[in-house]
Structure 1
Amino acid sequence: MMKAIFFDIDGTLVSFKTHKIPETTFQTLYQLKDKGYKLFIATGRGIDGLHVLNDFPFDGYITLNGQYCYTDEQLIYENTIQKEDLQALLDYLKIHPFPCGFTEEHTKYFNLRDERVDEIHRITLNDDHPAGDCQDVVNHKVYQCMCFVDNDEEKELMKVMPHCISARWHPLFCDVSPIGGTKQNGIDKFLEHYHIDLSETMAFGDGGNDIQMLNHVAVAIAMGNANDEVKAIADYVTDDVDNDGITKALRHFGLLSK
């Protein structure tokens, strides 16, 4: 019996075309709540990027790819980048400059901005944060870094940040996070909190940073716009969110009536 459903945001709940959650998808989410399912967010966004959810009452939030997990009542788990890795990143940026967003609990700030950052903001409407001097970042609690590098540069960067991992859902950047906090780990934290078994879980995703999560849950749903790697590991490939992909998958598995 299914009890818990986890949703990525960008490209899963939120349309890349309208930058919103379709009203029909909200209606589906409320139907699920009425049926007693526990609903969770599992996203790379931070708290300051959750306005797009329109205050829908989710039962928990796995944010920053698992680094900061909470309910409306309490913090469940947090995981920050080690000071030495932050310093290594700052030193690397002096030699190989690129835009980097440093994410704290309630905000993000960049060392510099260029057209790549602006392009992502056009997609997410969530990356208009200012740029400035970030040298003091080593003294802050940083949960994730948004690094605008390609795949080859990503591999070189990770060599100097040994206590971190990287994941990406867009070719322009990768998210760099501390080891230990993943969407998969966030799922386990909430299952323990709510006393739910892993066999009673389902997740929806579309990007590379969803692969661990989709491999972990009992039933994995890939959106129609997902990349081929995500579709390959999914139990079911649905339509995109603009064409009621969430609802269609839930009906396919019998969680909603047709």
Structure 2
Amino acid sequence: MIKAVFFDIDGTLVSFKTHRVPDSTKRAIAILRAKGIRVLIASGRQLLAINNLEDLQFDGYVTLNGGYCIVGEQVIYKHSMPSEDMVSLVRYMEEQESFPCIFVHENAFYINYTNERTNEIFRLLNFPQPPVLPLREAAEGEVFQLVAFFTKEQEKAIMAAMPHCEATRWNPLFSDVIPKGSSKQVGVDKMLDYFGISLEESMAFGDGGNDVLMLKHVGIGVAMGNAEDEVKLAADYVTDSVDEGGIEKALRHFGVI
């Protein structure tokens, strides 16, 4: 029996077209909650940047691709970027090539500068534009994730400067850079341990490259119809797109609701 369901946000719960949660998904979540099934977020976003879930209620949040997990007011797990990698990245950006980068802290996020690519993503995701700070100020202190606007071709050289981190990409314009050992899979495990639920009793929905490990890991992994091909291959089941009621249909398909 499924006792916990994890949802990615962008492209899974929330439509890229409307920036809203479909009514069918709201219905499905209400049924899950009424049945006592834990309803959980698993997102690359920071909690402060989750601005598109309307009035929906969740039992916990796996944020920053598993690097920061919260239940109510309690932080149950966090994993920040190694300081030596941050120093190395700043040196690389000052001496080799600069690119826009969002530095995600525990309770804030900053960007060193914006351009057409960043603005395109902010529009696509209906994402709040971070305050702009000089590079060294933006990178100062404990950082949990980078949203780095470099291309796939630039990625190898840039990531060589950050040997204790890895990049996960779900859009050609940017990568989420996280410390090695962080992933939505890890966040799922932390959340299930907290609630005393087994992996076999879990289900997850996703559409992007940062969802692959999670979908392979849970009891039932569901890829949205709008997902990338690698995500569909990793899933146990491919449902319809977010705009076609894919979440509700998959939950009914498996008899969860």
TM-score interval for Structure 1 and Structure 2 normalised by the shorter chain: over 0.9
Residues 77-156 of structure 1 aligned to structure 2 (within 5 Å):
77-94=77-94, 95-156=96-157
Counterpart Cα distance in 2 of 1:23 and 1:93:
44
Question: What secondary structure sits across from 2:189 in the alignment?
Answer: helix
Counterpart Cα distance in 1 of 2:137 and 2:256:
49
Aligned to 1:205: 206
Are the equivalent residues in 2 in contact too, given 1:100–1:146 (CA < 8 A)? yes
Q: In structure 2, list runs of 5 or more residues that go unmatched.
A: none
Give the Å deviation of 1:136. 3.2
Aligned to 2:168: 167
Aligned to 1:239: 240
Question: Structure 1 residue 58 and structure 2 residue 61: aligned?
Answer: no
Are the equivalent residues in 2 in contact too, given 1:7–1:203 (CA < 8 A)? yes
Aligned to 2:194: 193
The AA in structure 2 aligned to 1:166 is: A
The AA in structure 1 aligned to 2:196 is: H
Are the equivalent residues in 2 in contact too, given 1:86–1:137 (CA < 8 A)? no
Aligned to 2:29: 29
Question: What secondary structure sits across from 2:251 in the alignment?
Answer: helix
Counterpart Cα distance in 2 of 1:123 and 1:117:
10
Q: How many pairs align? A: 256
Question: Structure 1 residue 45 and structure 2 residue 45: aligned?
Answer: yes
Give the Å deviation of 1:46. 0.4
Cα distance per residue 1:132-160 (max 9 Å; x no partner)? 21213454111100111111211211111
Aligned to 2:183: 182
The AA in structure 1 aligned to 2:4 is: A
Q: TM-score when scaled to structure 2?
A: 0.96
The AA in structure 1 aligned to 2:177 is: V
Q: In structure 1, list runs of 5 or more residues that go unmatched.
A: none
Question: What secondary structure sits across from 1:52 in the alignment?
Answer: coil
Counterpart Cα distance in 2 of 1:28 and 1:2:
14
Are the equivalent residues in 2 in contact too, given 1:79–1:181 (CA < 8 A)? yes
Deviates more, 1:48-57 or 1:237-246: 48-57
Counterpart Cα distance in 2 of 1:200 and 1:10:
24
RMSD across aligned positions (CA): 1.2
Deviates more, 1:76-85 or 1:7-16: 76-85
Give the Å deviation of 1:82. 1.4
Give the Å deviation of 1:54. 2.2
Identical counterparts, % of pairs: 49
Question: What secondary structure sits across from 1:109 in the alignment?
Answer: strand
Are the equivalent residues in 2 in contact too, given 1:47–1:105 (CA < 8 A)? no
The AA in structure 2 aligned to 1:52 is: N
The AA in structure 1 aligned to 2:248 is: T
Question: Structure 1 residue 216 and structure 2 residue 180: aligned?
Answer: no
Cα distance per residue 1:35-90 (max 9 Å; x no partner)? 11111100000011222122422111000101110011311101111111111111
Q: TM-score when scaled to structure 1?
A: 0.96
Question: What secondary structure sits across from 1:251 in the alignment?
Answer: helix
Counterpart Cα distance in 2 of 1:136 and 1:193:
35
